[in-house]
Structure 1
Amino acid sequence: MIVTVTPNPALDLTWHVDRIVPGGTHRADTGISRAGGKGLNVARVAHAQGAAVLAVATSGGATGAEFAAELASSPVPHELVPVQGATRRSVALVDEHLGDTTIVNERGVNPTTREWEALKVAVVRALDATPVPEPVEGPGSASAPSITKATKRVLVLSGSLPPGAPDGLLPALIRIGRDAGAIVIADTSGPALLAAADAGATVLKPNTAELAEATGIADPIAGACELLHRGASLVLLSRGADGMLAVTADEVVRARLAHPLAGNPTGAGDAAVAACAVLMAQGEKDPVALLRRATAWSAAAVLMPLAGEIHPSWPDLEDSLIVDSPPLTALSRPSTERTPR
């Protein structure tokens, strides 16, 4: 069972325009409105690939009502904790001419202490009450392997925290996961990334910009090692078009495609987290296996118009990956990846 927690979810709004002109007026067809946030994207991907999931998030205000209605129409199992503050919005403007996406994320409203406690209770209940699932067949491409029986519980903590969130929130959620015997995966940024490492999250998945910002260390390997020294066991480091690294105390492994893919990178990191969660729920521990699947699902997400989906060609992408242990000097150049929300 995979339990995802999105402490700062968003109602994702997406519009496609012919070309974005700074300072100009733009017309677009009716946009797409979707319940989003990194943890929900992880849950959507994992569920679509046959894994047993439960997505836990907050919801409040008028946008929260629309958020809850859209999520209720989806097949993803979920539990929403009601809060007074309005669920934030995330606006994506897709430039059809350039193929670029411009994103504006609202910061979100900090829930009250009582509401945060209700979220923690929901996570405890989710981890304690969900049985380990039986084998299920993964939908999608006929070439995609079936999801095998899950043997572990996995807690995924994804996304930003709203301004004013308690410093101890993320460590408390990690302790809840560890006390329940769950593997904990955290995908966050800023001081929360360091807090997650200090609290002993099993896996951390920053990108290069997030890692450098959080640690103050420009070198990606040194930055990843800082997270390992603080308590993490595995760092999956997204490098955009340059692929992904798996860094442990014993090895550094790189996976990448021969040629980068054009498309929408918004949910690529979330798909990588979903891949890691699904494999670890099955009992997989090999960093190379985790890296290969995470890189393949991340690339497959780029081929889809919306975050929370991966292209069914992911097995072919995984087969075509170049996997090696590169010289550390080859990793010193800046990555092209944008920092996701």
Structure 2
Amino acid sequence: MSASVNIKGGAGDSSAAAKREPRVVTVTPNPAVDTTYQVAAIVRGASHRVPGPLVRAGGKGLNVARVAHQLGFPVLAIAPVGGIAGAEFSEELSASTVPHQLIPVAASTRRSIALVDANDGETSIFNEAGNPLTVDEWQKLAAAVVDSLSDEIHPAGVLVGSGSLPSGAPADFYPALVALGHNAGVPVIVDTSGPGILAAARAGADLLKPNHHELIEAMGLEDLPSAAWELIKLGARMVLVSAGAEGMMAFSAEHPGKYWTARLPEPLSGNPTGAGDAAVSAAAVALAQGVRDPAEILRRATSWSAAAVLMPGAGEISARFRELEKLLILTEKESQ
């Protein structure tokens, strides 16, 4: 497979002003071909007749880039792809018009299946494990990131590393990504789980975005504020924690005496698969624009996340995000 590169932007990108607008660069080390089925009702052990699925080039970083691109912000999605699934991934992504750079690898790209039960609103996800990359392939992925950070025509405003790592990945992948961004003077967001989130915090990531399950598992603490502050103590500059229908929380090293919560008056029904990625996309756009206020970043992230729930698949949000933002209950709380 030859390298796939599409660095064209959206409407108006030919203007000098658009070229100078900082873009969101996302890195997805373990991408997947996402297949989403809408099922009237899932009956365990039964056969189900379903309509054709929604098939997309996916992975958390791809979803982040898709959402920002949908709203007209400049992006570049970087990912390794290979095999038959990789060819399908590349074809769909090219058709989507999302600017991207794909690194050809020998291992086949994994697949992910989401089953959305329309009866109870629950979504079940089946993720294949990612296949290992070679040392040379990891180096090519890193080189693509370095090139994106040094592009003067399309300057990077923020670097986002999202998702799990494939088998055999370098243990320092996310800390190295943070270092690359900081060396280029670019803020870095990391959205991962397990030891990776701890390593990214120690590396000084500008923003971490775990969900409540990932945060509890990583820190071994049931109290979410306490767990988030531990990540701050390790070195993270800001932490956004998503807690499903309960909304989201924001913590900042610049404001050690307080934190913020945001939620809708009532939870939304829909597909939450891409909600966290939409939140990261909002935070990434904000950082690229120079926004550093935790409450403002939280406001945007919560409304984009909620708007993603209203869509059938990950990687897009409803046009209602501005309406939802006006409904948010934003609360400032004191840290104990």
Quickly say closer, same or farther: Cα 1:327–1:200, change in 2 above 3 A: closer
Quickly say closer, same or farther: Cα 1:328–1:22, change in 2 above 3 A: farther
Report the counterpart of residue 295 of structure 2 in structure 1. 288
Report the counterpart of residue 131 of structure 1 in structure 2. 153
**3-state DSSP of counterpart to 1:30:** coil
Give the Cα separation in 1 of the matches to 2:308 and 2:46: 31
Measured against aligned partners, the alpha-carbon deviations of 1:278-337 in whole angstroms (never above 9, x if no partner) come to 1111111111100000000000101111111111111111111111124779xxxxxxxx
Letter in 2 for 1:177: G
Q: Within 5 A, what are the aligned runs for 1:58-69? A: 58-69=80-91
2:34, 2:58 within 8 Å by CA — same for their partners in 1? yes
Give the Cα separation in 2 of the matches to 1:39 and 1:127: 16
Report the counterpart of residue 130 of structure 2 in structure 1. 108
Q: In structure 1, which of residues 212, 218, 221 is the aligned counterpart of residue 216 of structure 2? A: 212
1:198, 1:232 within 8 Å by CA — same for their partners in 2? yes
**Unaligned residue ranges in structure 2 (runs of 5+):** 1-22
Give the Cα separation in 1 of the matches to 2:203 and 2:130: 24
Report the counterpart of residue 265 of structure 2 in structure 1. 258
1:132, 1:153 within 8 Å by CA — same for their partners in 2? no
Report the counterpart of residue 317 of structure 2 in structure 1. 310
Q: In structure 1, which of residues 143, 153, 158 is the aligned counterpart of residue 157 of structure 2? A: 153
Letter in 2 for 1:73: A
**3-state DSSP of counterpart to 2:131:** coil
Most deviating of 19-28 and 124-133: 124-133
Give the Cα separation in 1 of the matches to 2:176 and 2:335: 35
Are 1:222 and 2:249 matched, yes or no? no
**3-state DSSP of counterpart to 2:262:** strand
Q: Within 5 A, what are the aligned runs for 1:320-339? A: 320-326=327-333
Number of equivalences: 311
% identical equivalent positions: 56
Give the Cα separation in 2 of the matches to 1:119 and 1:130: 20
Q: Within 5 A, what are the aligned runs for 1:1-341? A: 1-131=23-153, 153-249=157-253, 250=255, 251-326=258-333
2:38, 2:115 within 8 Å by CA — same for their partners in 1? yes
Q: Aligned-pair distance for 1:224?
A: 0.6
Q: TM-score, normalised by structure 1?
A: 0.89
Give the Cα separation in 1 of the matches to 2:197 and 2:152: 28
Q: TM-score, normalised by structure 2?
A: 0.90
Letter in 1 for 2:99: P
Letter in 2 for 1:115: E
Q: Which runs of 4+ in 1 moved over 6 A?
A: none
Aligned-residue RMSD, C-alpha? 1.4
**Unaligned residue ranges in structure 1 (runs of 5+):** 134-151, 330-341
Give the Cα separation in 2 of the matches to 1:327 and 1:179: 34
Quickly say closer, same or farther: Cα 1:130–1:34, change in 2 above 3 A: farther
Q: Aligned-pair distance for 1:173?
A: 1.4
Quickly say closer, same or farther: Cα 1:127–1:113, change in 2 above 3 A: same
Letter in 1 for 2:270: G
